[in-house]
Amino acid sequence: MAQMAGVQRQFVKAAMSAPFLEREEEHLLAVRWKEKRDEQALHLLAQAHMRLVIALASRFRHYGLPPADLIQEGHVGLLEAAARFDPQREVRFSTYATWWIRASMQDYILRNWSIVRGGTSSAQKALFFNLRRLRAKLMRDNRPGDQAKMFATIAQAIGVSQADVEMMDTRLSGPDVSLNAPVSDGENSSVTERVEFLVDDKPLPDETVGSNIDTRRRVNWLRDALNVLSERELRIVRERRLAEDSATLEALGSRLGISKERVRQIENRAIEKLRKALIERHPDDVAGAMI
């Protein structure tokens, strides 16, 4: 660990002592790399801007990630900027590279700061990296107010919903905790895992299996009982009671050439016939409440 820290200090010292490039020299190096793929020019260009990478990495130190990793990701962003930079434009390379370096570091932070992926949209990303700053600014301005009002102000400034601000604030307020982390039971000093305290409202597996078996059995009973109905009674029951989109009395009566009142009467008679058939065949299980 000490050796690694020493190497990191030497790297930072070398980067900070690298000579600055004049505008013309920077332009020539960029042209050599873009047009001739001169790797020596790329090396000199990147070396001269590593102090920019280190400076930007220091701004993200409070996210608890290794500085060396941030610098490494920033270097990737620096090389990406060099690959895309157009030296013919009247802009300094450092100005162009800053966005790519910062974006590379931010992407690394979002991927590694938490086991739960966040910042999946540009608005969420802006919220993640600006929430603490805006909250601290409101506190410095002596305008803390109540928490809901502060969240509303931040939401309006970033362009997200207040619910998103509240959720992100909760995520930033504490570290991730594994569901397999041990928890001591104060009563009997036993140790269990946090996952054991999660409540599952779903039925137990044996209850699910029993319910499925009962459902299939009742479906078979009903299918068998339908044989007692006449053809017209069967059609009315299917279209009125068994179809996903049940037909109205009026529509069904129009198709059958009878009044809707007559359809209602036939339906009631068919339901009563089904009830009696089910009770006769399964008196202990149906109990007169199948339909």
* Least trusted range by pLDDT, from 146-150, 153-157, 181-185, 199-203: 181-185
Give the pLDDT of residue 90. 84
Assess whether pLDDT exceeds 70 at residue 281.
Answer: yes
Amino acid at 16: M
pTM recorded for the entire structure: 0.55
Helices (H), the chain: 2-17, 23-36, 39-48, 50-58, 67-84, 93-112, 122-140, 147-158, 162-172, 205-225, 231-237, 249-256, 260-281, 283-286
Q: What is the pLDDT of residues 49-81, one digit of tens each?
A: 999 999 999 998 888 889 899 999 999 999 999
Per-range mean pLDDT, top range of 6-15, 170-179, 221-230: 221-230
Of residues 134 and 258, more confidently modeled: 258
The vertex-236 CA angle with 232 and 240, nearest 5°, equals 175
Question: pLDDT over 70 for what percent of the chain?
Answer: 85
pLDDT in tens, 95-138: 999 999 999 999 998 888 776 666 567 777 777 777 777 877 77
Q: Which pLDDT belongs to residue 290?
A: 46
For the cut 50, the answer to whether the pLDDT of residue 291 exceeds it is: no
Higher confidence at residue 181 or residue 104? 104
Q: Measure the CA–CA gap between 75 and 56, rounded to whole angstroms.
A: 11
The residue-averaged pLDDT of 124-153 equals 75
H or E stretch covering 92: none
Determine phi and psi for 182, rounding to 5 degrees: -70, 145
- Please determine, for residue 163, whether its predicted confidence score (pLDDT) is greater than 50: yes
pLDDT, position 28: 94
pLDDT at 288: 43
Phi and psi at 199, nearest 5°, equal -100, 125
